[in-house]
Amino acid sequence: MKRFKKSLVTLLVLVFVLSIMSTGFAAAKFSDVKDEDLSDALARLVALKIIDGYPDGTFKPNNNITRAEFAKVVVTSLGLGNAAQYAQGMTKFKDVTAAHWASGYIKVASDLGVVNGYPDGTFKPENNVTYAEAITMIVRALGYEPKAQALGGYPGGYLAIAAEKGITDKVNVVSTLAATRADVAKMVNNSLDVNLMEQTGFGTNVTFQEVDKTLLTAKLNVKEYKDYRVVATPKVDSKLDKDEIKIKSKDGSISTFKVGDFVKADELLGLKLTAWVKDDKIIFVDYDEAQVVFDMVAENSDGKEISLIKADDTYDFAEDVTVYVDHTKAKAADLKEGQYGRFILEKGEVVFVDVVTPEVGMDGIIVKDVSTKDKTITYIYDSDEESELDLADADAYYIYKDGEEISLDDVKEDDVLYVAKIDDEYYITVVRDKIKGKIEKAKDGSITVNGKTYDKGLVATASQDNDKTVVAYNADAVKDLIGETAVVLLDMNGQVRHVRGDVQETSDKMYGLVIKGQDYYDTIKIFVNGETKTYEVKRGSSDVPNTEKLDNLKGKIVEFTLNKDGKINYLNNVTPTTGYTGYRFDDDYNAILSSSGSVLAYVTSSTQIVRAEAYNSGEFDTDDLDALKWDDIKSKTPDISSSIYVVTNSKREAVFAVIIGDAFAENKAGIVVDKYRTADGWVVKVDVFDAGEKEYVLAGTTGLNANLSKGDVIEFKLNADGKLVTQNLLFDASSTATYSNFASVPVVENVYARDGRYITFENSVGNLSDYRITDKTVVYRVKFKDDGKYDTIEKTSYTKITKGMKAVYVVGDAGTLKVIAYAAASTGSTSSGTQTTLQKINAAANAGEMLTELKALGYAPFDALSEQLKAVVASRVFNARPASGFASMNAVYAQIDTEIAGLNQ
């Protein structure tokens, strides 16, 4: 008899993690336990609450154990753990006080003669227990003290008995060394099955002898039920609770027990086992793993015998065989080809069967995709047609792989699934057995890969074009894959479920700019991904047509694919016929925009962007090509003279783009402060970032140069003659400009916050951008009249910029600003009848109300004052207010500035 082995193949609800036994339980509980013998020992000891691990899920098997800790282990194994807790108090050992956590255990052990302590009257509770000491305590607990003394006493007599009774089996004993936690667990576990020695003679005839009792049965009140078979669990008997099972003895008597939380009750169905019961609950079990066969029915049963695929054998049914199909009791003759599950053997006959029937067309489906959101699995079965398994409406679904329940998210592409549906609940078995290698030979019933031959499964398919076409497997179905590398998916029986390869092995579509094509040599040179590469072209009816003239593709953007040999087997000219001028970039949305702001294309990580010198008659100049990175250019403003040609896919994503001209020469930025005519023509004076006020002759008065005026916020360049060419007009301060159209310009954003020189802007969709104002930043206020019409501009300080204002700005290097022009809302009367800020200030009845209104302004110079000085300024503004009230908000700000300046006078 042996405890569970981790290698046992399992199925569906047969998740053989019978935790209390063997590696299943120990490995699940203790992450650092790999030794199966230790796992077996811990399984029982933990169930009996004799020993446990650490809160972090480890056992720390190589650590030592103190004498106090071991005293607790021994006393608990004697069933006296509760008594020890009540016995906590003074002991006979001078170094074990009543307050010591183990005083009760040490007192009980001492009273029983299990421990004696040292000659000096100490117990040394914190010393590590040695192998000799631990063995001595165990032997005494089992009652073998007299025999040990007769054999020579400590330590030899105790060690001899431990060896004789198997207590030290699988333990390397070095008597004087500190015992490890692993070896202590093994020794204590071994001791549970040793017959006790008890006194049988008294008075002058004192005798001792072994009795048919063990620590398990006599001390821990555990009852043994040997060679019982589990005949019912909740899945086949609805009268049972989910944690109950029925077991049947050899004489036919049936008992019902609960099982501990170490295992689901259904996992035990059909097993012949020995169960140990404490307080009417099975706490652990032993069973012979050889009795269980997990397999698939090879052919319909005749009721007398059954053929199994994986075992490759035929078995007779026992006369009293029990059969369950889909959780319902059935007859042996009801077993059909393709059903799978557990077959329990005894003396070479099948005595118990528990199988499920896969749904039609779902006995080995191949996963192509999984959606955890929709709870669907996309799959193929016997053709390339994709189908969908929808689990969303099922009452429940259970997914198992390698005997453990997994989540839908754990199901992967190329997994082979077996799906059974019982009472609107899905039971899904996952097989993940993929082989990649060279196909050496194929027969109709088998295939040889990497020197190993695999039989064809019940359902077997093949594809020679990466599942574009899927057919039934035979030798002809894979003839073009012989000698090639392919993928073979195996079914639950280790047989061929699907063979997949690609004779062509065509690449994904690629894009590039042709530098030169040569029909004579069937070669073409393409600029692709920043490199110039020369490719051979494969001609043919299913490849590049012979009529395709490579010589004519120079300067064209092409779409192409490569076969497995790296030759072009598909080629298409996709050069756009139209380019766009006035385009710009949106780095928030990673998009290329037209001059009107509409999206031309979205940029992705695979977008190629190339700069070329010219485009003429449908052909790009390829003499000097530069590959550009989106991250390097997305925040730049394209030159007004440049143009862009974009190739997009069906998702409006740019796959290839060519920019013509000197696209990103550095723009200057500033605000026009004057305009006049001289003998040289029209001249503008511009307050320029990092240069101060400069005069420039306009390079003509057309385009964006046509109507420049004072207050315009511009980006510009100088032509070869040093004349100004406007590249971008961010704010047009014409006589028709109003606050409303200033606030509605796409490049104008809200001031979200300002903290000293750091300012945050919020765009129209709520995205925030952070920048820093430097000493070189050009700062102006755009002033509007009370009727909302443009008035003038005023050079000012950034300190007057407050939250809620509108601003247009030009970004420089490293997150700094070149130019910022801001404006507050116009302050005339509103049509709704609601009081404006100006009206509230003019209506303030006293200095206190004036203070309230001035605080509400968010005016930085005022906000910077202390509360006391704010009150002083508010009082002075109130007293200085004209009898008719302030004429405008500009007048209010001016008065505040005057009063602040007067604080120091």
**Of 77, 131, 132, the residue nearest 109 (C-alpha):** 77
Rounded to whole angstroms, what are the CA distances from 562 to 558, 838, 885? 13, 72, 80
- Close Cβ partners of 752 (under 8 Å, ≥ 6 residues apart): 760, 761, 762, 768, 803
Q: Tell which residue, 139, 140, 136, 150, has the closest CA to residue 207.
A: 150
The answer to whether 728 and 816 have CB atoms below 8 angstroms apart is no
pTM confidence score: 0.50
Strands 340-346 and 292-296: antiparallel
Strand partners, 568: 537, 562
In this predicted model, what pLDDT tens digit does every residue of 539-561 receive, in sequence order?
A: 987 789 988 999 999 999 999 99
Expressed in percent and rounded to 5, the helix, strand and coil fractions of the chain are 20, 40, 40
Q: Which of 112-121, 202-211, 567-576, 756-765 has the lowest mean pLDDT?
A: 202-211
Tokens describing residue 200: 């049988």
Mean pLDDT value across residues 358-366: 94
pLDDT digits (tens, 9 = 90+) for 445-469: 999 999 999 999 999 999 988 898 9
Residues paired with residue 407 on neighbouring β-strands, in sequence order: none
Label residue 330 by pLDDT band (50, 70, 90): very high
Helix axes 131-141, 181-191, angle to 10 degrees: 20
Q: What is the pLDDT of residue 138?
A: 96
> What's the pLDDT band for 31 if we cut at 50, 70, 90?
confident
Q: How far is CA 160 from CA 130, 142, 157, 304, 589, in A?
A: 16, 14, 5, 54, 81
**Per-residue pLDDT averaged across 484-503, rounded?**
92
Distance CA 45, CA 51 (A): 6
Helix (H) or strand (E) run with residue 879 in it? helix 867-880
Q: Are 881 and 875 in contact (CB under 8 A)?
A: no
Burial class from Cβ neighbours inside 10 Å (0-12, 13-18, 19+) for residue 154 reads middle
- Once rounded to an integer, what is the mean pLDDT over residues 429-439? 94
Confidence of residue 1 (pLDDT cuts 50, 70, 90): very low
Of 592, 614, 604, the closest CA to residue 511 belongs to: 604
Strand residues in 667-764 grouped as ranges (E): 668-678, 681-688, 692-697, 713-718, 724-731, 749-755, 758-762
Helix (H, G, I), strand (E, B) or coil at 545: coil
pLDDT in tens, 80-95: 999 988 999 999 999 9
pLDDT band for position 298 (cuts 50, 70, 90): very high
- Rounded to an integer, what distance in angstroms lies between the CA atom of residue 873 and that of residue 363? 86
CB atoms within 10 A of CB 393: 7
Mean per-residue pLDDT, 626-635: 89
Please state, in angstroms and rounded to a whole number, the distance separating the CA atoms of residues 902 and 894.
12
Residue 259 has pLDDT above 70, yes or no: yes
Q: Does position 696 have pLDDT exceeding 60, yes or no?
A: yes
What pLDDT is recorded for position 624? 86
339 and 356 Cβ atoms separated by less than 8 Å: yes
Consecutive H or E run containing 893: helix 889-901
Question: What is the model's pLDDT at position 592?
Answer: 95
What are the residue boundaries of the structural domains of the chain, listed by start? Answer: 24-219, 292-356, 365-431, 434-501, 507-547+557-570, 584-660, 668-731, 838-904
**Tokens read off for 47:** 């169930």
Cα–Cα distance, 858 to 855 (Å, whole number): 6
Query: pLDDT class for 180, splitting at 50, 70, 90?
Result: very high
Does residue 836 surpass a pLDDT of 50?
yes
What number of CA atoms fall less than 13 Å from residue 778's CA on the CB side?
30
Q: What average pLDDT does range 774-785 have in this prediction?
A: 91
Cα–Cα distances in angstroms (integers) from residue 50 to residues 78, 114, 127, in the given order = 9, 17, 20
d(CA 819, CA 647): 35
- Where in 804-868 does DSSP place strands (E)? 806-811, 817-823
Percentage of residues in the chain with pLDDT exceeding 70?
93
φ, ψ dihedrals at 341, nearest 5°: 160, -145
User: CATH for 668-731?
Assistant: 2.40.50
Residue 58 is predicted with a pLDDT of 92
Give the pLDDT of residue 5: 30
